[in-house]
Amino acid sequence: MTSAMVSDKKSSLLQMLPVMLCFFTMGFVDLVGSATNFVKEDLNLDPAQAGFIPSLVFFWFLIFSVPTGILMNKIGRKKTVMLSQLLTLVSLLIPIFDSSYVTMLIAFSLLGIGNAVMQTSLNPLVSGLISPSRLASTLTFGQFVKALASLLAPYLMAWGAASVIPTFGLDWRVVFPVFAAVNILSVTMLGATPIQEEKPDKVTGFMECVKLLSIPFVSLCFVGIMCHVGIDVGTNTFAPQILIEKFGLTTAEAVIGTQIYFYFRTGGCLAGSYILTRVPAKAFFAFSVICMILGIAALFIASSQLVVLIGIALIGFGNSNVFSVVFAQALNRQPNEKNEVSGLMIMGLFGGTVFPLCMGFAQGGMGVAGAVGVMAVGVLYLLYFASQIKSENVK
């Protein structure tokens, strides 16, 4: 190995460290779920008022994803990521000083906007730092790092709420200054890291960007992202309800369903980041979908609590790598429109709103089995998508 190759590897590692810290800050958005429960209790909100808070996150993905893809062409990917970090920082600082309902809505709106901008810009920034064959595994590892923040948030809030150590009157809101400090470190490190970016894409208009959906494979990927997020949100929402409806668990006891899902999804991201460097994406994606099919079947059978928990674990593991593979496939198929394609893919996260609505209606008519049926449709679509992935050598 020449000294130039060693120098390039060191340079790449130094670039990836701040990028991976950005993935960690990307996970801050998941604090909204646990925070909503604390806000509801503190302000005595009714269910409708409390439910409006997390819905803001997915709404901003629909609005800001495509414009962010266009913005990257003008100011570059790194500057766009830094802008998203600054938006996230402001959103984290606001609740430290005031926690009224309107203030929290503003804070979580900014958190959602910042996350939409970050997810749209960070993934293509990564694509310019590593080879196409390693993109899926790198993005999967990034999702693992993101999941660490998602897992940390509820523990920080619970510690703040119950801690005998003074938290300056913030109680559960101690999570905000802690995450803000990490956010400042992240944007500082990224700003100090030189990154040579690819030339700006040619597509610059909103309609030209949306027209990329007319490309069959891009539209396949877009729907694939919607299915991934729909299955993710659907499992988190309805898995505990299956345990409650079928086995009479209390709400507190049924939380184990959500915990199992997150643990196996996080573990799946870590495993996938290694497996995808050894196994072609097509084969591993197909295996992941088969895991989800078995998991959905277990939820339908629901013969025992153990069977349901195994099903949830299989869905969590299988769904953990879907986003990264689909995203990488979309970017690699359209290398000259990475920014715009990234915006379209992140807009697909709006599926986190569409799927739960459909599942809610289905549950009203057929019980939780109807909700699981909607998830099954998404899984079957991903099975079809697996057949459309090009076989490629792992390097």
For 8, counting Cβ atoms within 10 Å of its Cβ (0-12 exposed, 13-18 middle, 19+ buried), the class is exposed
Q: Mean pLDDT check: name the lowest of 92-106, 155-169, 285-299.
A: 155-169
Cα angle 323-14-89, degrees, rounded to a multiple of 5: 65
Give the torsion through C-alpha atoms of 139, 281, 223, 58, to 10 deg: -20
pLDDT of residue 148 exceeding 80, the answer is yes
What pLDDT does residue 6 have?
38
Mean pLDDT of the region 63-85: 90
Give the confidence band of 163 by pLDDT, cuts at 50, 70, 90: low
Closest CA to 308 of 381, 214, 242, 238: 242
Give the confidence band of 1 by pLDDT, cuts at 50, 70, 90: very low
Mean pLDDT of the region 107-119: 93
Name the more confident of 76 and 38: 76
Name the more confident of 116 and 392: 116
How far is it, in rounded angstroms, from Cα 287 to Cα 308?
Answer: 20
Q: Mean pLDDT check: name the lowest of 97-101, 143-147, 299-303.
A: 299-303
CB-CB contact of 291 with 386 (8 Å): no
- Residue 352 Cα distances to 109, 145, 208, 226, 390, angstroms: 16, 21, 25, 7, 27
The answer to whether the pTM exceeds 0.85 is no
Q: How far is CA 150 from the centre of its chain?
A: 10
**Which positions ≥6 away from 215 have C-beta within 8 Å?**
334
pLDDT of residue 85 exceeding 90, the answer is yes
Mean pLDDT of the region 217-230: 92
Give the confidence band of 29 by pLDDT, cuts at 50, 70, 90: confident
List, for residues 273-314, the tens digit of each pLDDT value: 899 888 998 999 999 999 999 999 999 887 889 999 999 999
